[in-house]
Amino acid sequence: MSNNSVAALVPFLLLLLLVCCRLAAGEVGEETKAVAVDPSFRFPTQRLRDAYVALQTWKQQAIFSDPNRLTANWVGPAVCNYTGVFCAPVPRGFPGAGEIAVAGVDLNHGDIAGYLPSELGLLADLALLHLNSNRFCGLVPTTLRRLRLLAELDLSNNRLVGGFPSVVLRLPSLKFLDLRFNDFEGPVPREIFDRPLDAIFLNHNRLRSPLPENIGNSPASVITALPFRRLGAVLIGARPPKVATSTVHCNAAAAAAAAALIVLQACNYQEIAKFTSERNGKGKFPMERSTWLITLLAFALRSVQHHLSCV
């Protein structure tokens, strides 16, 4: 190839590099343009029209690879028939109560590559958004703040980046938060432990330690965090500061519980869950259930360690 040919390629390569870098930083996700709606389409409510715009913009502009074809039937105005999309009546006490709306999106284990466009904020009636075990990258869009009914948000095992997604602090109905196995970095906001969450999963990110001192305020039954990326998940039970500052004298049972807890914390929960699932046969013991049981085991060991060793 001649020098002139190489020189001609330089601008193209620089442009490609810029696009890739911006995509990795999540900037491209902010530049989607909502798809146009076919004038012949009819929607029972504005809610379902908005859902169509959100899901079609996601599919057409922000999903680059869908090897399992989960979105293959995302065609036409009948969004409630799309794979992974679930509809239900709007609950009482909310505007439009009784109207059918998109209440859930579950694309877990889809291996989908892409990013989360700002148009997802149009899914204002979502109660659950489950996207674990995909290849979504970039930033979590701030428009998710519009999801006033969202109770479960699972973004685990993706390639999401940026600081802790503070938009989750603006979701009034949120009870379950799973951000594990991403590349979020920086400090964990203290406000997360003052929210009425039942479960908080933060481990295997690049989040900075130490955790805020108000962690003991959280009513969550389980919290996992990972101050240091190469160690295992650190599981903290109710009111951990009181446990951490107690003067304890370990008897044999407490020592055994502590040793078991250390071994469990040094392991990768998700890989143990995968192994457990495979050993029990595909479909007989889902990986999610394995992860929960392992987490609960760690919580039980922490309780045994505390109750048997404090005198």
Cβ atoms of 138 and 25 closer than 8 Å: yes
Taking residues 275-293, report their average pLDDT: 43
% residues pLDDT > 90 (the chain): 57
How many H-runs (helices) and E-runs (strands) does the chain carry?
Answer: 6, 14
Which one is predicted more confidently, 37 or 264?
37
Residue by residue, DSSP assigns 221-251 as SEEEE-SSTTS--EEE-SSHHHHHTS-----
Please, what are the domains in the chain?
Answer: 26-187 (3.80.10.10)
Give the model confidence (pLDDT) of 129-188 as tens digits: 999 999 999 999 999 999 999 999 999 999 999 999 999 999 999 999 999 999 999 999
Give CA 129 to chain center in angstroms.
8
Residue by residue, DSSP assigns 148-198 as TT--EEE--SSEEEEE--GGGGG-TT--EEE--SSEEEEEPPGGGGGS--S
Give the model confidence (pLDDT) of 226-283 as tens digits: 543 433 445 554 333 333 323 233 344 444 444 444 444 434 434 434 443 444 444 4
